[in-house]
Amino acid sequence: MRDGRTHDGVVVAHEGGDRLLAFADGLTVLGATRLGLERANAVAASLIEAARADGSLGLAPTVSDVELLAPIEAPSVRDFVAFEEHVEGVVKSIDGDSGVVAEWYDAPTFYFTNPHSLVGSGASIRPPVTERLDFELEVAVIVGGVDGSDGSNLDAAAAADHIFGYSVFNDWSARDIQSREMKVRLGPCKGKDFAATLGPWIVTADELADAHDADGFLELELRVLVNGELIGSDLLSNMGWSFPHLLVYASRNSRVVPGDVLGSGTAGNGGCLAELWGRAGSLTPPPLAEGDVVELRVERIGEISNVIGAAVEAVPVPRARKASRERTRGRVSA
């Protein structure tokens, strides 16, 4: 965003600072994902070539000149739980249990979170009133179209073709609210959907084609810092499933569309505070508080940073009324 207006486009490396070139003819990043990776790259290449030819590239705004928003208006956001080490620690913190349930190994479980709460790097995070505010260090893939088609019941090869690019993802969490909700065997919902950071941009899949190991996992380093102090680090290749297999599962008996966001789930080794709380048996390090600055850094993808703002008081909702015999007597059955 610049001067109150939003623009979608591409980031171009330049000796005077990374430059931003806006798409022409109203094209958006979501529209680019619908074109598919090959056609979207051709559009970007043409845009960059023209800017270099007429000298306008050096005059384009730099990243520091603008406010970065979430790089796409996502139709949906699925967040997986694909790091075994994270599960082992966080389950103990939230549920008081230990160990990884056998069912985790069967399939890459996910939940749907709120695409309307996506924010960009630099945004102030306004959490609900919570005593256990937490970050989550993740990487997300953004789905792209292939030959104008969506994805349904994809196999691994087709799923890989549908990966448009990658972005850094922070699935903010109010752990005390999350814990209460999940005792109802549903959720999480309000413990999660107040904010999620995506950014700082989308690195297209071809840019990371050489970063995969022999099993198809991305060998990238992930780090998280709070107020400049390193809290956790991990390798993206420690996921239990590769990104194509997450997409395979998301598309099973269903449909994924261009622009959908799929989060990897939280990295291990301190990828969130709850994992560390579970291992320590105490709130060490302490939960996030107003004024804290959280930075997530992913090798070759980028860095996102957010400051924690003031909590937002919730509008009260009454407790449920219990069923009574008087009310159930009015039911009619055939």
- Tens digit of pLDDT per residue, the chain (334 long)? 888 899 999 999 988 889 999 999 999 999 999 999 999 999 999 999 999 999 999 999 999 999 999 999 999 999 999 999 999 888 766 666 667 999 999 999 999 999 999 999 999 999 999 999 999 999 999 999 998 677 999 999 999 999 999 999 999 999 999 999 989 988 899 999 999 999 999 999 999 999 999 999 999 999 999 999 999 999 999 999 999 999 999 999 999 999 999 999 999 999 999 999 999 999 999 999 999 999 999 999 999 999 999 999 999 999 999 987 666 565 656 5
Contact between residue 95 and residue 175 where contact means Cβ atoms under 8 Å apart: no
Dist CA 191 CA 79 (whole Å): 14
User: pLDDT value at position 95?
Assistant: 62
Residue reference for tokens 């798409």: 23
Instruction: Return the closest-CA partner of residue 113 out of 72, 173, 61, 165.
Output: 173
User: pLDDT value at position 96?
Assistant: 62
Q: What is the DSSP secondary structure assignment for residue 208, as one 8-state letter?
A: G
| Whether the bond into 286 is cis, omega within 30 of 0 | no
Dist CA 148 CA 290 (whole Å): 45
Dist CA 60 CA 51 (whole Å): 9
Residue reference for tokens 């919570």: 130
Contacts of 209 (CB under 8 A, 6+ apart): none
Residue 113: Cβ-neighbour burial (10 angstroms; 0-12, 13-18, 19+): buried
What is the secondary structure of 288-317 as a DSSP string? P-TT-EEEEEETTTEEEEEEE---BPPPP-
In the chain the domains, ranked by start, together with CATH numbers, are 9-65 (no CATH), 77-308 (3.90.850.10)
Upper half-sphere CA count for residue 46 (Cβ side, 13 Å): 8
Contacts of 255 (CB under 8 A, 6+ apart): 150, 151, 152
What is the secondary structure of 79-121 as a DSSP string? EE---HHHHHHHHHHHHS--S--GGGGTS--EEEE-GGGEE-T
Instruction: Return the closest-CA partner of residue 244 out of 258, 257, 262, 259.
Output: 262
